[in-house]
Structure 1
């Protein structure tokens, strides 16, 4: 039997602490620096406009600052909402960041789905899938070095290899199939509850790995690239504390805040899909995940517990020292 490759560990932040933006960004940079020191392979941020669900509308700008603070950590977007972007400008910005960081960018893209943000950018939520498909074609071709117009120049600066470091996020099997056909990495969410109302058909209480297994199976079945291997990124909510009582107390407060913000259904899904507890309890929960043996990347976040910066760093340290050694 072929040995499984080492599992790459990543950390993700939504920048949601109750603090001024400058403080939020400084905390996130400290988290990335701490992750690199503790052996994590990657640090990830998401794009959220107008302060909805997170505090970072410009992830590539933030990751440029993170590139200056780190030397080895890979820098990921999980995700940029492509239908809100000019795809050629996005490709240019990504190429500059990849150049500055020494080829460390992992470019994750998705459709988004928020009606308010779509309206702010003059887009229609109903058109987001078509806009995503068109934008992704532009981004992929530009990063691959194609002419930007017939007889015209190629992308500058060039970004050799970045086209092979694209990731696509999805909540459904069709999206997983498209990611495989594009040769992109498959990015799976921390919950099976889709942010688009009415689009999720997973029975309540289904373990997250079970709910997402059909996506992974479809992705692997449709992978066609002989020159590269599939990449499967699991995003998981993980909060580690020294005692079970402390972990549960912090989590209860976090889930209550999240319920007030996102509603009871999302909060129930988040509670069901989160790994909260002592190092031994978190390790057992992660090892029970059906998808862990198939994953290439495990990307952890403390959202929606959001215990504050000091306890977030403590959770990261406990995970690195006491949980990670028990994983693949």
Structure 2
């Protein structure tokens, strides 16, 4: 049976909207100093308008613009006071689990206990192939590498690794309760549930309707989640708030043409609107975006939504968009649905 979402401060409270998060994927623009400063400034603003969490993506050997998420969050912890700080995600194949546990423990101390540790296997489709090659790893072993590293990390956080006692300083056993697994596969979602970890879902499914496809992952997760565990379901979604859809399209086109380094993967050959729809980006007025999120079977069931805005981080409209999200969109999202939108799947092994 699917686990209900209880009244618990670690998840959305009964009758309250899902927790409000931000998700930043630093680009490769050639100016990391400007980009990192802009992201830190956005985090400070997000905290000031009421965001609950701020997450950053990590990518090695120029697969995105940030190869050291925990280092970045250590700096960010000194500019913020209450917003939770998360990785989305650290690919475990490229990490020494003991070193990772020690670094995470230091960041958690610096942030006064605000760290959330999102973990993954790396993106499919060749995105992470340069990193596997650089680290002299076989990308075909990504599942086994992840499973072995996660097991060792979990043991290290609790004080043991490979049947040996491991004494960490600072102590970090509490971080074992703040692990998240990112996935697009039902088997991994089920494994996250069995472990009592949080579940992280991407902005877009590879095939079909994203909300419906990811709702099946939520089913697999909840079917395995122990009754004593609080569901933690974070979904990434991209929105572009504006006065109306026409203004949003014009805004996107202006920045895409003026800041090509931020949009190197955007294909506008079929038009801006077609691109935004294909990329699962909700755009337009507050009502337009609320309508898109309300029709999203996964967003409706998530305990935390991690929003991104498809503009350069230093664009003034990005900051304005975060304010709109916090004040005009988030309060109207409604509480996470307790019952699954589609039938619960059988238990999934592996």
Give the TM-score, by structure 2 length. Answer: 0.82
Q: 1:314 aligns with which of 311, 320, 325?
A: 320
Number of residues of Structure 1 aligned to a counterpart in Structure 2? 312
Paired residues of 1:64 and 1:100 also in contact (CA < 8 A): yes
* DSSP 3-state at the match of 2:20: strand
Residue number in structure 2 paired with 1:221:
223
In the other structure, the counterpart of 1:199 is none
Alignment of 1:13 onto 2:54: no
Is 1:118 aligned to residue 132 of structure 2? yes
User: Would the alpha carbon gap of residues 255 and 109 (structure 1) be closer, same or farther in structure 2, given more than 3 Å must change?
Assistant: farther
Match of 2:265 in 1: 261
Q: Go from structure 1 to structure 2 and tell me whether the alpha carbon gap of 1:302 and 1:154 turns closer, same or farther (over 3 Å shift).
A: same
1:284 maps to which residue? 291
Q: Which has the higher contact order (CA 8 A, sep 6+)?
A: 2
1:26 to 2:28 alignment: no
Report how far residue 160 of structure 1 moved. 4.0
**Could you tell me how far apart the structure 2 residues matched to 1:270 and 1:30 are?**
29
Cα contact 1:76–1:107 (8 A) shared by 2 = yes
Q: Which residue of 1 aligns with 2:97?
A: 87
Whether contact under 8 Å (2:101, 2:172) holds in the other structure is no
Corresponding residue for residue 40 of structure 1: 51
1:146-165 correspondence runs (5 A): 146-148=159-161, 150=163, 152-165=165-178
Partner residue in 2 for 1:209: 211
RMSD: 2.5
TM-score by length of 1: 0.87
Q: Structure 2 vs 1, CA of residues 95 and 224 (structure 1 numbering), >3 Å: closer, same or farther? A: same
Q: Which residue in the other structure is 1:197 paired with?
A: none
Can you give the 5+ residue segments of structure 1 that lack an aligned partner in the other structure? 194-201
Cα contact 2:152–2:162 (8 A) shared by 1: no
Q: Which residue of 1 aligns with 2:66?
A: 56
Q: Deviations over 1:2-38 (max 9, x none)?
A: 8445411001111227461111110000010001001
